[in-house]
Amino acid sequence: MSTVQTLEQQIANINMPETDIHDKVMESISSTQLQKKHPVNTKLLIAASISILLILGSGFASFQYIILYNDKGEQTLNIQPYSSTEKSPDYPKQYLDLIAEGEAIAIYDPNNNDNKLITVSSKAKTYNDWNTFINDVENSYPIPTTLPDSYTFISGTIAYAAKFPDTDKLIQESVDNGHIITYEKVDTYDKIAHITITLTKQDHQYIVSMNEGQTTDTLFTDHINSPKVQKININGVEAFVATKASETNVIWRSSKEDGDNIYSISTTNTSSDVNEEIKAILLMFIQLD
């Protein structure tokens, strides 16, 4: 009989795949990998949405891990690099075209898949109107009712958590049909898994991602291998900042008093004032008075 890991173990395995912040395609895919290898237990790996956590894949391996702390000396996040075995596969867009925004699909590819991984992808809903977006987010994440005049809202996405597929059925269907790729639509929960907000200010773009942080202490990311890595303090909590020639990427976990959410920002801003701009954006989302 197969079992799955606890939610805490699942979220602890968040992976953040590569994407390009200059790509204007805001289709967001939330992927979950289910490992099915008889007779061992099922293992769940959660991978964050592409176009959401925006990973930088080059640089050099300077750190094995980086730990973020708050002003009380408490650990907020353990950031580690991930191996290729922890990344979700890139499936042809044809499979994602089979589902509408807000829906999810499970895909089983037997090729080079000894562990019998099944990937569940939920396609995020895309919004171009700020009021409609914040209305659908409701109280899931802290969002101001209005944005400062200096920022322009480009788009937002909302991705819903996907339910588990019938893993045995997908694998057996593949075997019965000559080991082909098999797939099926799966239902989603009403619970919002994550959101993104794309903003511009002057000549720079900022993509802000929000995920729940209550059940995770570890994030896996290639940001750790960026040429320039630093920590800055935002509202009493350390943030991880990684800079490349044309991109700056940030990971930060807010305090419990501010919602205990995990934020990721990817921006084209690499100027000397980028850290202050990042602070201003994050504070905009947690200080809503």
Instruction: Give me the tens of pLDDT residue by residue for the chain, a chain 289 residues long.
Output: 333 333 333 333 333 333 333 222 222 334 555 544 333 222 333 333 322 222 222 233 345 788 999 999 999 988 888 665 555 556 657 788 899 999 999 999 998 888 888 888 888 999 999 999 999 998 899 898 999 999 999 999 999 988 989 999 999 999 999 999 999 999 999 989 899 999 999 999 999 999 887 767 888 887 777 878 899 999 899 999 998 888 999 999 988 877 888 999 999 999 989 999 999 999 998 876 4
The CB density around residue 129, as the number of other CB atoms within 10 Å, is 11
- CA pair distance 17, 87, nearest whole angstrom: 7
**3-class DSSP state of 96:** helix
41: tokens are 């237990």
Question: Please, are residues 241 and 275 in contact by the beta-carbon 8 Å criterion?
Answer: yes
Q: Is the pTM of this model over 0.75?
A: no
- CA pair distance 211, 193, nearest whole angstrom: 7
**Single-letter code of the amino acid located at 20:** D
- CA pair distance 23, 26, nearest whole angstrom: 8
Q: For tokens 């867009």, name the residue.
A: 93
Phi, psi for 284 (deg, rounded to 5): -60, -30
The CB density around residue 14, as the number of other CB atoms within 10 Å, is 20
Regarding beta strands 75-80 and 218-220, do their DSSP bridges make them parallel or antiparallel, or are they unpaired?
parallel
Torsion region of 177: left, alpha or beta (phi above 0 gives left; psi -120 to 50 gives alpha): alpha
Beta strands in 142-260 (DSSP E): 152-162, 182-186, 188-201, 204-212, 218-220, 228-234, 237-243, 248-253
Phi, psi for 132 (deg, rounded to 5): -65, -40
